[in-house]
Structures are given as structure tokens and as C-alpha cells.
Amino acid sequence: MIWIEGQQSKSVADFGTWTNPLHTFPLNSINLLSLYLLPTPSSWLASLRCLLCRYFISRWLELCRLRKTTLMPMERRVQAMLLNFVLASFVFLILIRDGNAGITSSFIRSEWPAVDIPLDHEAFAVPKGYNAPQQVHITQGDYDGKAVIISWVTPDEPGPSHVQYGTSENKFQTSAEGTVANYTFYEYKSGYIHHCLIEGLEYKTKYYYRIGSGDSSRQFWFETPPKVDPDAAYKFGIIGDLGQTFNSLSTLEHYVQSGAETVLYVGDLSYADRYQYNDVGLRWDTWGRFIERSTAYYPWIWSAGNHEIDYMPYMGEVVPFKNYLHRFTTPFLASHSSSPLWYAVRRASAHIIVLSSYSPFVKYTPQYMWLQEELKRVDREKTPWLIVLMHVPLYNSNGAHYMEGESMRSVFESWLIQYKVDVIFAGHVHAYERSYRISNVDYNITGGNRYPIPDKSAPVYITVGDGGNQEGLAAKFLDPQPEYSAFREASYGHSTLEIKNRTHAIYHWNRNDDGKKVPTDSFVLRNQYWGSNRRRRKLKHFLLTVMDEVVNM
């Protein structure tokens, strides 16, 4: 058993990373001490296994000597049998995969060409009729999920900005008035972009809505979320860096099949900035039509990435987020934010905070000041699930964009731990990766600490920048896999987070797998607030009391 001595060999490489030289030390107080000092769970477990193995081997050798030299009494035989059983179990246990070991998936994807879908493809089909509304997308319109913002574009003239809606198909009892505006980008002139806020909706209700006028009008529907409640079950989809290639189409179709009710979008939408001059605006339009199959029915919670900046001095366009902000709105005022780029919404049992990687975020900036206040407003008794979205991952072990999240990590990480964020979704890196619960807040330049360490109060960091845009996959991971990285694979895909109640949620990452949706990385996420024993006991006590009262009524 080579691995006991801490040697790295092909046969044991699957059990984790074996970088710590303490493994080769003799079994003495230093080795015992190392159990407590080693930086990560996998190292800790490895040391424990190492110690146990040494113990059992020495006991076994002793028994072998006994067998050879004497006839054993009955008790000794029973002891020997028991020991053999324990030893066998132990060998079995060390042969199965260590749940804490970091995994770099060996899946090799036969990649589809990462080129954008041609303009005349049906995925970008323009709806029939003069001035027919297109690029329809909806998002949450308030803090708690009783409002929706409906956005669309009319290509030929402004037309009406109102939305007719109601709870029965083809019966639109109510209407709301929106706004319309257009803009230019270089010489491109946008269509007429409408945004209409519908407020005062009922929770968990299906609404039908109609936009446009006359023969060109179009109808869609959406469902409001359940009331904000700690045990409200809800299923989110998570997509990032989608773009408009055939891989993007595959991701989008798989997501539509997933049964998720709302998308948490982690930035980089159209990749229109890969084009020049008037084609930029044009490719924003095609993307709007491309996503409509989902966004007209399911709210997408937006966050912005670098491909939304559209800083193009060569064509005189230097106002950041110009295309994005004209087209995509967010309910930022409802969470007292001063910018559509950072905000928060509460939906079912989740409090979702959207951060902007490309806006100022250091201490004293508006985003920093806002987040400080917003985190205080989070009430885990009402919304147990605290989810943060951003574009640039704070932890990433891919060669692409490595350490780009350091800038924001150094500012916000201590808060994410203090407020026990459950999970952080990011995009940016065109691959999938999931971290352990770790933190690097002890690194302070002068103190000597240098590695991220296990931290049960820290969030799980998940990178889902694998929507499938034209830049292709980021397949070069750091080698060896850092101790903080739990699972990583360079494939296209999307994730779902199915919240069951206040304590548990089921998470899946679904690899596209060349056209088929394949669940790959799955785990049960325990809530960071309600997961604690004390709170669970309190909850159990409360439920038992209520049941007693019901029984005795």
C-alpha cells in the first residue's frame, strides 16, 4: 500500500491530493499533531487513514506471530476474527472513493464547433406580423415576488407599451402601462424597447399576458412564486455565459426540460461584443429572440458580466453596459440599490443577492455600502436560503481567468462567511467547478497564512460559465487540483437547485453531453442557517408542540 507512506502513484491518485510531506513522517507525536494541523479535510482524512492503517497492520502482524508460535486460546481467536473483520472493512473503505477528495473529471467532450448560429437560422426567427413584439423576457419586479417586469422590442414603430393580463387564457381583465425608449450604438439604431411593471399579483398563480396590437399581438404566460416562506419549495436553474451557438441552444433546451421555475443568470449574455460596429446591436437582437422560448415564460434574474460592458473606443462607444442596461431591467429600487447592476430579490424561501463584478465594489463605494445594508436585511427565519450571484468566481482553479476574483474576494469574503451564505454561483470561466466550503480570510500578507482553509461557515462556490458561447471551453485546469476544488469538468451544461424546505436542497450540474442532458455533479446542500443542530432541535421542538396542540384540540 504505497499511499500510506504518502507516495503519489497512479493507483491511488483518485483518493485525493497527497501533497503534505508530513505523511512520510514516522508514527510519532508530530504525525498525531498533523491530524489537527493539516489544512484540508482530505489531508486530515488521509492522515487518519494512515494512522489507522499502521495500527491495524501492526496488530495483524502481532497476531500472525502469535499463530505461528502458540496455540491461541478461544478469546484470542474471537479477537483475531474480529480484527480480521475490521481490517477487511477498513481495506474496503479505503478503496472506495473519498467523498472529500477533489475530482477532475476525465470526461472528454467531442466538442461541437463553437461558432454562432447563422442569422437566418430559425432559432432567431422574427415573429410574423407588422411591428410584432419580439425578444420578450420577464424578470421579478419587486422585492418579494408579487410583481413582474415584462420587456419586449417592437422593430418598426414604438406601438403600445401596455400589457394586458389575467388569470384565464384569452381573458385579460387588467392592463398596465409601461415605458418605451430606443438608443443608438455606433450607427446601429435599436428597436423600440418596452418595459412594463405589473404589480400586486397573487402568489403561486398562473397569469396570461398579451403584448403588441391587433393581428401582431402575442400571448404568453408566467407563474408567480409561492409566498416568501421558510419552507417554500422552489426550483431554480442556473445558467451562465450562454452566447448564441448551437451549444447555447443545447443548454437552453436542456434547461427548458429541467422543470426549473426561474433562472439565476450569472452574466455574459449575448457575446455580441465579439462583433464590430453595427453587428453588435444586431447580435443583441438575435440573442433576445433566441432566449425568448424561455424568458417569455420564466423569469430570469439577471447579473452582468464582462461581455455586457461593450467598451469600444474604436467606434466611439465608451459608456459601460449601454446595450445591456437599455434592454434588461432589474427591480433594483425595491432593494434600495442605486444601480440596476446590483440588487436583491426574495423568492419563495430564497434571498438572492446579485453583485456586479465590473462596477466599483471596494470599501466606501455604493455597491459596498448597499451590500453591507442588504446583508443586515436578510432574515433567515423567513428566507433560509441565502444565494449570491456574480460573474467572476471568487474561487477558480482553471487556467482561464485564474485569480481574477481575488479583487472582489479580498473585499467581500469575510461578509460571505459572517452571514453564512449558502452558495455562490458565478460564470466567466467556460467550464464547471464546485469548491468545498473554504475561506482565505486568514491570508493577511504579513501573518504567514497562505492557503484557503476549510471553513464550515463559508459558502460553496460554484462556477457555471459553461453555457456554450462562441469562445469555446476552458479546458486547462491547474495541476495538481488545489485542495479547495471539489469537482471540475470542462463541458457545457447548466445547474439546477431544488429547494425542498428550510434545511435541504438538491443540487445538480447537468452536462450537455453532445446533445443529451446528463446529470453529473449532484449533492444535497444543507442550509447554513437551519443546518445547525441547535436550530434544528428548536424547530423539531416547535413542530412537536404544534402537533401536540393539534392532537389535543
Q: Which residues bind a copy of itself (CB under 8 A)?
A: 306, 309, 311, 313, 318-320, 336, 338, 357-366, 369, 392, 397, 402-404, 406-408, 410-411, 440, 443-446, 448-452, 478, 482
With both helix axes pointing from N to C terminus, report the angle between 406-418 and 366-377 in degrees, rounded to the nearest 10.
20
The angle formed by the CA atoms of residues 8, 486 and 410, to the nearest 5 degrees, is 110
How far is the C-alpha of 388 from the C-alpha of 344, rounded, in Å?
9
Helices (H) then strands (E): counts for the chain: 9, 26
Provide the phi-psi class of 494: left if phi over 0, else alpha when psi is between -120 and 50, else beta: beta
| Amino acid identity, position 95 | L
Which among 392, 394, 338, 330 is positioned nearest to 369, based on CA atoms?
A: 338
Residue whose C-alpha cell reads 436583491 in the numeric block: 344
- Rg of the chain in Å (alpha carbons): 27
Closest separation in Å from C-beta 307 to a copy of itself: 9
- CA gap 483, 39 in Å, rounded: 9
User: Taking every pair of C-alpha atoms in the chain, what is the biggest distance, in angstroms?
Assistant: 101
Q: 75 or 479: whose CB is closer to a copy of itself?
A: 479
Q: What are phi and psi of 418, to 5 degrees?
A: -55, -40
Give CA separation, 509 vs 49, 294, 423, 492, 549, in Å: 30, 19, 14, 10, 42
C-beta of 308: minimal distance to a copy of itself in Å? 10
Spatial separation of the C-alpha atoms in residues 397 and 485, rounded to whole Å: 7
| Interaxial angle between packed helices 278-295 and 246-257, expressed in degrees from 0 to 180 and rounded to the nearest 10 | 20
Q: Supply the DSSP symbol for 211.
A: E
Has 137 been annotated as catalytic?
no
**Residue 104 or 449 having the CB closest to a copy of itself:** 449
d(CA 243, CA 270): 5
- Cβ closest to a copy of itself, residue 334 vs residue 539: 334
Give the DSSP letter string of 167-231. SBTTB--EEEE-EEE--EETTEE--EEEEEEE-SPPTT-EEEEEES-GGG-EEEEEEPPPPS-TT
233 vs 318, beta carbon nearer a copy of itself: 318
d(CA 429, CA 357): 13
Out of 121, 401, 430, 504, the active site residue is 401
Minimal distance, residue 364 CB to a copy of itself, in Å: 4
Kind of pairing between the strands at 174-177 and 179-181: unpaired
**Residue 172 or residue 368: which is nearer to a copy of itself going by CB?**
368
Q: Smallest gap, in angstroms, from Cβ of residue 47 to a copy of itself?
A: 19
Which of these, 187, 222, 194, lies nearest to 328 by C-alpha position?
194
Are the C-beta atoms of residues 288 and 252 closer than 8 Å to each other?
Answer: no
Task: Classify 343 as helix, strand or coil.
Answer: strand
Catalytic residue positions, numbered: 401
